[in-house]
A and B are shown apart, each in its own frame.
Chain A
Amino acid sequence: MPRALRHAVVLTAAALTATACSAPGTDDARTAAAADSVVLGVSTEPDSLSPLLGYGKDGNSKLFDGLLTRDADLKLEPALAEDLPEVSEDGLTYTFTLRDGVTFSDGEPLTPADVVFTYETVLDEKTNNPSRSELAAVESVRAKGADQVVFTLKYPFAPFAARTVLPIVPEHAAGGQDPNTGSFNTEPIGTGPYVLADWRKGEKLVLKANPDHWGGEPAVKNVTMAFVPDDDVRATRLRSGDLDGAILPPNLAATFKDEADLTTYRATSYDYRAVSLPTANPVTGDVGVRRALDLAVDRQAMVDQVLDGAGRPAYGPLPVDDEWFAEGTERAHDPAAAERVLDRAGWKKGADGVRAKDGRRAAFTLYYPAGDKVRQDLALAYAGDAKKIGVDVKVESGTWEVIEPRMAKDAVLAGFGDVGDPDFGLYTLLHSTEAGDGFNNMPHYDNPAVDKALDDGRRTRDTGERKAAYDTLQKELAEDPGYTFLTHLDHLYVLADRWKTSGADGLNTQVEPHEHGFAAGPWWNLEDWRPKR
């Protein structure tokens, strides 16, 4: 008996200590924390910090600046260039004048030779930059005088200026070493608002404010990017106060809704999910089937049920509120109309409820990359909607290595989304000359009217003409949907409520591309944050 009593006392004491420790703590700690430091949890770690291998190619790289940069509305603004480029009449020559007095973080001045070195190294065959083809239009780069850089293009390429957000590296530091494995990959030197203080691979990356930045020293002096791949662990560390902010999936972000000192940011995106419908497949290549599937999918239900509301229906690669979106190309969910389209196209319902035409069943296989829960759920929802109109979609999973050889024949639940210019995402997605070239134009979509609109869109720099071209394209794409566009995803971020940007109450987000996390979220413009108090 005394022993049992002793046990009980110990247990009660332990329980009391536990509750005492667990109750308060984290909230007070978060509000009291200094506003000049921030710790952010992201899911992926960059492979390299060298722009020569693709780091920061879409801007917001923190350590570097490009010739141009994008503001909150994704409009181009000058950065290392003192103004937007001068473009020749034929659209083939772009001349940038460099900003005066810009220095790299080692004190050396920025020169046109650094810009030339950066672009030439990225374009070099021996540099393992997987995004090199984004600069395919560049014929040559040369320095002119003491402060100018001239780009000559192979063909008129209207969106070229948007590619010059590419970060500039110093030739004196990055030259003379192998760009693929040299020390510049881990010890970068740039002109950006922050300099690298420490990079402990697999754990975190620490940045310090650059006091000599041409745009002024940032108010947030210490930035830590903690790499936490597991969503649950990231949420846990945010809750414990170890992280100030994190990117989270919708269901976990929702658990922070009632925390007074944390704000949830919802960034809309160009990041879409779509089913590719291969032209070479007799079922998915049939325009009637394509249009019927386009009408049969319940996009809003996918947003609500698969994405927990964190997304919007997609009717094409461009989101509905994009300035390039063609008004009136939204399609209502109308299974009855879909059935009429199939009836008219000659696909008649058989005994098993599946339609057939000329003895061929309306059936095809839809692949999704294994392990991607969102794509899996979208694929299953798609198959469910298709079944209701008599189209039999068999959902299969596989690694990209399994899917790639089948892309020309079988449907794939694909995800893309480029930011900056409609040409970037659309040309490689739809132009017939890109058919089957790597992951470009996976379904071998071939539509002369779309090809012409894409060519017009990149040739002319007149905004009105370009708008007309992309309007035509989106209408043609609605007539012959080579992909069933399903949803654009929203990206969710939860962040301590300690900062604002000047002239605003809080922070904002950009419309984000497919790839996001490190340079996205409310911390896309970290250098402009100001303490709230």
Chain B
Amino acid sequence: VSGATAAVGVAPAARRRLPWAGMARLAARRILTGVPLLLTVTLGVFALAAASPFDPVRGYAGDAALTADQETLDRLAANLGADESFAARWWHWLTSALGGDLGDSTVLRQPVAEVIGERAVWSALLCAVAFAVAVLVGTLLGVLAARRPGGLLDRAVTGLAFTLSAAPVFWLALLAVWLFALRLDVLPAGGLTDSGSSYVSFGEVAEHLVLPAGVLAVSQLPWFVLYVRQGVGDALAEDPVRGARARGLSERTVLLSHALRSGLLPVLTLIGSRVPELITGALLVETVFSWPGIADATVRAATAVDFQLLAALTAFATVAVLLGNLLADLLYGLFDPRVDFRDM
């Protein structure tokens, strides 16, 4: 134990070269294990969709199905391929997807690639901004809280974090709309741009991004705050920090270069594991704010049993989670000298 902690203490001084070979090997291994995982997940989606009580014909036709005769319903089922087995449909989907063709979305009446292409960029923007804000603000608040455990700031931040982690994200979203759009009238309540404007300008998107990204960030914030506070708080009580203080280093250096560095390690794992939560949170936030991302497409694909769209969206979400985990592991390997890429 003493050897490891010593290494942590010494690390900031020694500039190491990045272990490219180790990182590449880890990434390659992860991609290899990701392939069977993706196959299983997509097959599972097809199986679940086939077993779901939703009827693809009704999902496709909407209310019109409730006034349709049996012949029309049967013809739609045949045209949509709803009478094939799920394994056969999965195989068709897989083979054409490998050839670059993701198929057509039945519920949105357009190619799947087009659906994802026109929506994914807005979802990615929302998630990236929210995540960055959550990590940065979470770290800042966590460090401030850990600096004086039990102090006024610590109690306020920790209390707020626990309250926020218990608040459902759609409720936060509605609350934010009520406060900022309605009471204060300072931010728009929804959409990507002002409802009346017909082109996308940077200023308008930035203004419209504040509330959804802010709400999503706030919903992720408690995890980072609490992890950082705990990590940094523990690190402040450890030998290397005491050693650094004893050597007369400034409190700032001690906090940022010693305590924060080892206190942040658990947060790196958190980054990977929060990605799925971030995606589901984004779905709810997008719905409340009419954000033109993949949320609406996902909900409609699921309730209408739109196999092609559902499979593609699930595959993308799976890849996002795998990448999140890989990123977390790479960062962990880089920042924690005790970890060797060969062991991962």
Contact = CB atoms under 8 A, between A and B. Distances in A.
Contact of B72 (A132, A183, A185): A132
A37 B192 contact: no
B189 A233 contact: yes
B60 interface: yes
For B54, B60, B68, B76, the residue with the greatest tally of chain A CB atoms inside 10 Å of its CB is B68
A180 B109 contact: yes
Interface in B124-182: 174, 177-178, 181-182
B5 to A, nearest CB: 38
Contact of B55 (A45, A131, A186, A401): A401
Contacts, number: 171
B314 interface: no
Given A224-B195, A230-B287, A438-B70, A201 B174 contact: no
Contacts of A128: 60, 76, 79-80, 106
B250 interface: no
Interface residues of A, number: 63
Interface in B58-73: 58, 60-73
A101 to B, nearest CB: 29
Interface stretch (A20-28, A166-174, A249-257, A373-381): A20-28
Contacts of B104: 180-181
A199 to B, nearest CB: 10
B73 A400 contact: no
A228 interface: yes
B67 A233 contact: no
A228 B174 CA distance: 13
B296 interface: yes
Interface in B94-121: 104-111, 115, 118-119
A47 B185 contact: no
Contacts of A37: 196
Given A130-B68, A202-B293, A402 B174 contact: no
Bin the interface of chain B by size: 35 or more
Contacts of A132: 72, 75
Interface string A221-250: 010101111101100110110110000000
A115 B9 CA distance: 81
Contacts of B223: none
B183 interface: yes
B195 A39 contact: yes
Contact of B292 (A203, A208, A228, A230): A203
Given A39-B196, A237-B189, A47 B290 contact: no
Interface string A366-408: 0000000000000000000000000000000001111000000
A181 B109 CA distance: 5
Given A47-B108, A53-B109, A21 B54 contact: no
Interface string B291-327: 1110111000000000000000000000000000000
B290 A131 contact: no
Given A203-B290, A232-B174, A401-B58, A428 B69 contact: yes
A434 interface: yes
Contacts of B2: none
A401 B53 contact: yes
Interface string B36-70: 00000000000000000111001011111111111
23 contacts: A18-B184, A22-B184, A128-B80, A130-B65, A131-B64, A133-B69, A181-B104, A181-B109, A198-B198, A200-B192, A202-B296, A202-B297, A203-B191, A203-B292, A233-B190, A236-B189, A237-B195, A418-B67, A428-B67, A438-B65, A438-B68, A438-B69, A439-B65
Interface of A: 18, 21-22, 25-26, 37, 39, 45, 47-48, 50, 53-54, 125-126, 128, 130-133, 180-181, 183, 185-186, 197-198, 200-204, 206, 208, 222, 224, 226-230, 232-233, 236-237, 239-240, 242-243, 399-402, 416, 418, 428, 434, 437-440, 514-515
Given A22-B185, A203-B292, A240-B182, 14 more contacts: A18-B183, A21-B186, A39-B196, A126-B79, A130-B60, A131-B68, A131-B72, A181-B109, A228-B190, A233-B288, A236-B182, A237-B195, A399-B53, A439-B67
